[in-house]
Structure 1
Amino acid sequence: MNILLNRLLAVINEREASTIEYYIAYTFLQNLFKISGFTIEQTARLCNVSKSTISKFVREIGFDDYMDFKLSAMSAQDGVVYGWGENIIDFIGHNGIDRYIDILKADMDYMKTSIDMENIDILVEDLIHYQKVAAFGIVHSQTAALDLQFKLAFHNKIIYTNLSDISQDEYILHADEDTLIIIFSNSGKYITEYQLKEGYPRKDIFDLTKGRIVLITSNRKLAGDSRVDLCIGFDYTSHVQNHPYYFQFITDLIAVKYKQRMEENS
């Protein structure tokens, strides 16, 4: 998943539609596969703003300068990479919806017996204990964080999340011992590398954070990683990236068990 696309989407989701930042981000998204060939002067004309405004904007969304921004725009032309395995859209395109539904059914049946239910119970106890809670992910995994936020809010448990990778990193880096951080990552690579950045450089914020880290993943090897305090693992039988559906099921389990525990305590 290209870092520029992710950051531009974060802007239009977080800023008012009347702001100049929203307008620039929206214009960039409409021209995502063209702007890599634009000079800063051409980009400024496209957005009807000054060159200095463009320079300020690209720095605000985490790029060193306009050239760094252009390099990211160039990599966006290579297409979207979702992680490991074949993405759902490509699989359906090649094999048809009936074949995909059969695979999804088989994976969901297998998941019932493979998910770490005991660790979900531990996470629920953590949710009761910790006042400061955040949930994060990248792309489809971030939708799981938003889903959990929404479901827990119905039971008066408010947790924090943010689409911006920059804001996520800042929160994790500065988290203290009283903070619980839930990470949704099918591959587990959210813990080990910057998945949106060119070359996937090593991520070190989990070596530095003081927060309690809970990882929800199909990569069970990370259960023994020193950066992970609790790993909720699950398995599936196919090579198709069905984890958006698994995560929705898992967030339902967490919300249901949290509700039950709170009712027991009342």
Structure 2
Amino acid sequence: MKLEELVNNNYDKLNENDRYIWKYICNNKRECCRMSIDELAKECNISRTTISRFTQKLSLEGFGEFKVRLKLEFAENDNIKDNSVEEVYQDYYRTIKDMKDKDVLEICRMIYRAKHLFVYGTGNVQNAAANELKRHFISVNKFFVTLHGEAEIDMVLDTATEEDLIVIISLYGEKKSAVEHMKKVKAKNIPSISITKLSDNPIARLCDQNLYIITKQIKIKDVVTCENVGQYFILIEMLFLKYITYLGQLKEESTIL
């Protein structure tokens, strides 16, 4: 599990100092890869014990394990050639590998048990991904209602219960209106799944389960900037395939019983 994902999953445990440490590390990853715990504590103007507790809140043994993970992830990102096409290849590869290795059992259970299924995309590409999710799952009698616009979301939030499920697809996970909606989802204890870029973002922190695409902004000839988001569709297809496997396991278990 990536460090960003660990932070999102354990965000409620983090206090103001912990969040400051993480922000400093995110802004200075190269330097932090070489720092000792005492040097990092000095830079953040806090005690080494506070840093050690921060890493333990992420379900790590301590700063040593945190630093090893940080170095590996930084080296993985830094090893990509200075070539836009190669960067796109690497993003696809990393998204596929992470999804292949990810345990999605709880996500499959949530989809299987939900009485009503809803999916909401925060932009044009995200809406297309939402429709792709709907297209795949309808073949196994799981119908996702795609939500368009704030009025539809508000209407669903008025009636949705703990027996339902809401999937939100976003890129940065920071759109203000979407964050406010997910706060309401969390307050009503409606099960939720986010699909966002792999980053420390508020929407992922508010959801019960998270899926991530790995992408970055790419400059073409220092003029055109684009964000590669084709991984949404690969991730959704892989989730669907894992869900089919889950259904097969349920069938085998019921046969044995």
TM-score normalised by L of structure 1:
0.52
Q: Does 1:212 align with 2:191?
A: yes
The one of 182, 206, 228 equivalent to 1:227 is 206
Distance 2:158 2:187 in 1: 6
Partner of 1:194: 177
Structure of higher RCO (CA pairs closer than 8 Å, 6+ residues apart)? 1
Deviations 1:90-132 (A, max 9, x none): xxxxxxxxx7644422221222334485353321121112121
Counterpart code for 1:188: G
Distance 2:174 2:217 in 1: 19
Greater share of residues in strand: 2
The one of 97, 104, 119 equivalent to 1:113 is 97
> Does the CA-based 8 Å contact 1:217-1:232 persist in structure 2?
yes
Offset of residue 231 of structure 1:
1.7
The one of 160, 166, 190 equivalent to 1:181 is 166
Distance 1:163 1:221 in 2: 26
TM-score normalised by L of structure 2:
0.54
Alignment of 1:70-219 (within 5 A): 101-115=85-99, 117-139=101-123, 140-190=125-175, 193-194=176-177, 204-206=183-185, 208-219=187-198
Offset of residue 219 of structure 1:
4.4
Partner of 1:242: 228
DSSP-derived class of the 1:182 partner: strand
**1:142/1:264 CA distance change after superposition, 3 Å:** same
Distance 1:265 1:187 in 2: 35
Partner of 2:242: 257
Distance 2:212 2:121 in 1: 16
Aligned length: 160
% identity of equivalent residues: 14
**1:117/1:160 CA distance change after superposition, 3 Å:** farther
**1:179/1:113 CA distance change after superposition, 3 Å:** same
Deviations 1:175-208 (A, max 9, x none): 2111111111111124xx127xxxxx95553454
> Does the CA-based 8 Å contact 1:138-1:185 persist in structure 2?
yes
> Does the CA-based 8 Å contact 1:175-1:210 persist in structure 2?
no
Q: Which runs of 5+ in 2 are unaligned?
A: 1-82, 219-225, 252-257
Distance 1:154 1:110 in 2: 28
DSSP-derived class of the 1:154 partner: helix
How large is the Cα RMSD of the aligned pairs?
2.8
